[in-house]
Amino acid sequence: MTTHDLTSHDLTSRVEAVLAATPNQLFVEGRWQQAVSGASFTVENPATGDVIATVASAGRADAAAAMDAASAVQETWARTSSRSRADILRRGFDLVQERAEDLALLMTLEMGKPLAQSRGEVNYGGEFLRWFSEEAVRDSGRYADTPEGNLRMLVTRKPVGPCLLITPWNFPLAMATRKVAPAIAAGCTMILKPAGLTPLTALYFTQLMTEAGLPAGVLNVLPTDSPAEISEPLLADSRLRKISFTGSTPVGKHLMRQATENVLRTSMELGGNGPLLVFEDADLDKAVDGAMAAKMRNMGEACTAANRLLVHDSVAEEFIARLAQKMSALSVGSGLDETSEVGPLIDDKACASVEGLVAEAVERGATVVVGGHRIEGAGHFYAPTLLRDVPADARVMREEIFGPVAPVMTFSSEDEAVALANATEYGLASYVFTENISRGLRIGDRIDFGLMGLNVGVISNAAAPFGGVKQSGLGREGGAEGISEYTSTQYIGVESPWGPAV
């Protein structure tokens, strides 16, 4: 049953039931437990500001206990057959599908996105469990003679060891499954630290993985409102062998510096400043729809969001007019309302940040076409906003917006478009709209981004490698590449069965 079918009273009862069924404690060594210190923090609904849960807040002692648990079972878990690990992932996938409505409702409650988008995240996030259940049994090495013929090479891939997985607040399920699934597939134990703003979905997901048969100690979960209390002691512990982090570039750099002390394997998915290029030969229907998807999904609170809309000057007026019509028609409201298309931003700080970016752009000569203001009342709502004539050096063109604001500037040639696109220290997602396939592929060669959508506005997929270049990070998640991030390569030289080489 979806919320379409529920009365207001029924929806309230459903919300209460889902929250009551969601764990609010730490998960260490297969047990739900309070923090050693007894500390806790609250989780709010960003659409109302109401507290919806109180969650145990892990500290240093809890981090030590989680590291002990993960280390103690690492060898046994690594020897567990790949088929057994795959079966656990597949059962986890099935359980996520069975509880899809509960997960979607929980995500909307703690993060704010409309229910339709939360359901989309359940589908997307679940696919990492299914994909890596299939990849787990295909993680092979090689066996061959050396060129000289004097040795046989036995090359295998082994689990790298205990991992620290740090996830952001904007995609509470998908960011957890994108890290947990390949770690399970590879045979690594884990300590998961979900974002303090949205820990509930990760805790619910953890419960599902225990139902799927994941052994005690393999996955340990430490919600906290003091992240350094977790990351600092764990990164200093020689038993930890990998960190995977999704979040801001400044925090990622700080964690990387800490990780150097023990030479940890690192996967960093950091900030973005994605360009969306619309050439003069673009199909404008595709371009506008793609811009709406790439900009407005998740209220713009996505590292893959189209941050800068770069449009050829010959089609700019028509593109802006069409985009303005679509953006002004969007319904803004609580994500629990099935008619809402744009939910709240995560908190008041996020609203203030977006306000500041828009105000500075206007001061520098940009024009507000649609929106441009905070929506008064309860919650943290900002109107979908379209800006035109935005100068290239405005902060809104240089910084990650993380809100429903689309700034437009124009270009007149392919070379200028490429130069504008590359004029950023970031290099995660990009989007190109042109009906000339040669141009599209040529632009792909010329722009410095790890991801590019060609005539599409959403490209994330569990089967595809996700990650950036430059200050958007390193490593890849998803795809065949995703499991490699959790393995190390070992070479064993074996005496040739034929004796000395001839």
Catalytic residue numbers read: 269, 303
Q: How far apart are CA 430 and CA 4, in angstroms?
A: 35
Q: How far apart are CA 13 and CA 19, in angstroms?
A: 10
Q: What is the 3-state secondary structure (H, E, C) of 412-455?
A: CCHHHHHHHHHCCCCCCEEEEECCCHHHHHHHHHHCCCCEEEEC
CA 146 to chain centroid, in Å, comes to 42
CB contact at 8 A, 194 and 172: yes
Q: Reduced to 3 DSSP states, what percent helix, strand and coil does the chain have, rounded to the nearest 5?
A: 45, 20, 35
β-strands 385-388, 367-370: how paired?
antiparallel
CA nearest to 195, candidates 219, 220, 226: 226
CA nearest to 25, candidates 202, 188, 184: 202
Q: What SS3 state is found at 411? A: strand
Q: How far apart are CA 177 and CA 166, in angstroms?
A: 12
CA angle 37, 42, 48 (to 5 degrees): 175
**Cβ count near 16 (within 10 Å):** 11
CA distances from 113 to 176, 273, 450, 451 (A): 17, 21, 26, 24
CA angle 112, 114, 118 (to 5 degrees): 90
Give the sign of the dihedral formed by CA 354, CA 357, CA 361, CA 364: positive
CA 326 to chain centroid, in Å, comes to 26
Structure tokens at 106: 């929980």
Structure tokens at 114: 């409309």
CA angle 203, 208, 213 (to 5 degrees): 125
CA nearest to 244, candidates 265, 261, 230: 265
The H or E element that residue 236 is part of is none
**Cβ count near 52 (within 10 Å):** 18
CB contact at 8 A, 89 and 133: yes
Q: How far apart are CA 454 and CA 477, in angstroms?
A: 20
Q: What SS3 state is found at 264? A: coil
Q: How far apart are CA 441 and CA 448, in angstroms?
A: 13
